[in-house]
Amino acid sequence: MRWTLKPKPSPEKVKALAAELKVAELIAMLLVQRGIETYEDARQFFRPSLDDLHDPYLMKDMDKAVTRIETAIANGENILVFGDYDVDGTTAVSLLSSYLKSYYPNVATYIPDRYDEGYGISYKGIDFADDNGFSLIIALDCGIKSIDHVAYAKSKNIDFIICDHHRPGESLPEAIAVLDPKREDCHYPYDELCGCGVGFKLIQALAQNRNQTTEDLLPYLDLVATAIAADIVPITGENRTLAKFGLEVINTNPRPGIKALVQNVKKKVLTITDVVFIIAPRINAAGRIKHGNEAVALLTEYDLDQAEIFASEIEQHNSDRKELDKQITIEALDQIEINQETDKFTTVVYNKSWHKGVIGIVASRLIETYYRPTIVFTKSGDKLAASARSVKDFDIYNALEACANHLEQFGGHMYAAGMTLKEENYTAFKEAFESTVEETIPPDLLTPEISVDAEINLTDINEKLIRILNQFEPFGPQNMTPVFLSKGLKDSGYAKGIGANEDHLKLFVKQYGSQGFGVIGFGLGKKIDLVKNQNSFDAVYCIDENEFNGNVTVQLRLKDLR
């Protein structure tokens, strides 16, 4: 692991902010690192308000989208809400369809089949709309590159509204409205919304027309917070506000579907991390193993008993998903070893029988072993389909763009993408991708990095620091949990490996005679020899609170030591 200490911000800025907020300079430094330099910045960070949300009509084409939807309602048209099968897509479809259905009945949903139709808008979906009398399709979390599909729908007198957050291509589909804050000609003040976030801006605009306030839309924010967490978008600006209020809904009055998913979780208060690791994988499992429709059915169900039945079915899908990704990861690692590809700049693997629903997870697993841009292919109809994942600070979308002549189609963003290609082009693509990455990736990006916010002494850790750090939540990209470095630590002599195979490390550390702290190091059991016999060591860690039998104690969550 590379330990990288973040550059220290301007001492003048830190001192000024510390004085203005009446906080320690350590807190002020952490804030300035996150771009928070004024009292007003800090107010919005620590006390987000729904009033901070931008006017939805600042988004390009929002007026056109609202006008077309209101016309459809006035004319009694059938509206089809279409979305991708992942968490962002299914939450977005659930959000918009349930909002529209609250005052208009002629609304249905459509999630494409991952295996039969693939990602994004499908011809099969458009034919379904045509066969069933839908004259307006609203696409969420997809569609920004669906030029041919939108033209096909137009030939059948079906209008499209697109709500997307992915990067557009050179030209846009000829839809009635294209809502995407990443459009170059869109000057919306915040361009990091997820697909469900763009859907929320649409219902915010529709609500204004109906004399509703943003407070009236609070019950929908559990869906938005779930999508923000799952889609790994920055937890800044509007996303931070939406995530914070959405988490409050999840913890106080969630919709029955989410309540059913978390009812066996023993924690009193769920964090964004719990959403990422508990709620999101289960919603995702429906589309991975069976069909994304099951996730929408769960998230739009208002009867708790029925929601619990849906949730138990999805729980089974999630168990099946875990078994599959474990087995495929083993097979992929074997393939890398057998083909003697352990020292390359990329990982590209293929097996025609691998389950398409879990190859994205497998790509992430492979990065844990071979830290490099990774693509996992499987067979999908007469083509190969793949999921790509990247390492920190390397733009895999740009690398795919450089190899686009070998691909049938691709889409995504900096850290994750999907693609299809003809089987005969697989080897040429694999070589081109390796060559592109080798030429463009800085060598240090091939070693995992721990980005350290600040070096501190254990004596700096006190109740006030922890209380303020807790207010930094929700954490996520561009506002990660602060990581600290402390040097010259010594274990009290009770270091031990814990877990089934002693994979994890448990310590009690002191520094220069300071008060001691309990330490847990997940996956660091093999480093126990470094801390035995009261050897001095340095550690990077996050500060946690550990709750056990009703007692809350401060605990350091170790990320690495040396």
To the nearest 10 degrees (0 to 180), the angle between helices 304-338 and 280-289 is: 70
Long-range (24+ apart) CB contacts under 8 A made by 205-211 are 205/56, 205/57, 205/62, 205/65, 205/66, 206/66, 206/69, 206/70, 206/99, 206/100, 208/56, 208/57, 209/66, 209/70, 210/103
Give me the sign of the Cα torsion angle 361, 362, 368, 374: negative
Report d(CA 312, CA 396) in Å as an integer. Answer: 36
Do residues 154 and 130 touch, judged by C-beta distance below 8 A?
A: no
Helix (H) or strand (E) holding 490: strand 484-491
Mean pLDDT of 144-159: 96
Fill in the DSSP letter of residue 479.
Answer: B
pLDDT of residue 225 exceeding 80:
yes
Residues 492 and 531 sit within 8 Å (Cβ to Cβ): no
- Local structure of 30: helix, strand or coil: helix
H or E element in which residue 362 lies: helix 359-369
Say what the pLDDT of residue 118 is. Answer: 79
List the one residue out of 479, 390, 480, 471 whose CA is nearest residue 436.
Answer: 390
Residue 135 has pLDDT above 80, yes or no: yes
pLDDT tens, 477-532? 899 999 999 999 999 888 899 988 899 999 999 998 778 899 999 999 999 999 98
Going by pLDDT thresholds of 50, 70 and 90, the confidence category of residue 449 is very high
- Nearest CA-CA partner of 508 in 499, 497, 500, 516: 516
Instruction: Please state, in angstroms and as integers, the Cα–Cα distance from residue 313 to each residue in 308, 403, 555, following that order.
Output: 9, 40, 36
In the predicted structure, residue 465 carries a pLDDT above the cut 80:
yes
- Grade residue 167 by pLDDT with cuts at 50, 70 and 90: confident
Q: Quick check: 485 and 452 in contact, CB under 8 A?
A: yes
Instruction: Answer for the pair 286, 294: CB distance below 8 angstroms, yes or no.
Output: yes
| Residue located via tokens 């059948």 | 156
Cα dihedral sign, 286-291-294-295: positive
Instruction: Quote the DSSP letter at residue 141.
Output: S
pLDDT in tens, 359-402: 999 999 999 999 999 999 999 889 999 999 999 999 999 999 99
Q: pLDDT by residue (tens digit) across 40-65?
A: 999 999 999 999 999 999 999 999 99
**What pLDDT score does 171 carry?**
94
What's the CA dihedral at 275, 278, 283, 288 to 10 degrees?
130
Q: Read off the tokens for 352.
A: 């025609």
CB distance 460 to 556 below 8 Å: no
User: What local confidence, expressed as pLDDT, does residue 548 receive?
Assistant: 73
- Percent of the chain at pLDDT above 70? 100
Could you tell me the sign of the dihedral formed by the alpha carbons of 213, 215, 219, 225, in that order? positive
How far is it, in rounded angstroms, from Cα 209 to Cα 320? 45
d(CA 526, CA 358): 29
Q: What is the mean pLDDT of the chain?
A: 94
Domains of the chain, with CATH numbers? 2-47+450-561 (2.40.50.460), 56-312 (3.90.1640.30), 339-446 (3.10.310.30)
Radius of gyration for the chain, computed over Cα atoms and rounded to the nearest angstrom? 25
* 338-344 contact pairs (CB < 8 A, 24+): 342/370, 344/372, 344/434
Q: How far is 497 from 416, CA to CA, in rounded Å?
A: 35
Which of the 8 DSSP states describes residue 158?
A: -
506-to-89, 159, 482, 502, 522 alpha-carbon distances in Å: 40, 60, 21, 10, 9
Peptide bond into 474 cis (omega under 30): yes
Summarize the confidence of residues 279-300 as an average pLDDT.
Answer: 93
Pairing of strands 374-380, 347-350: parallel
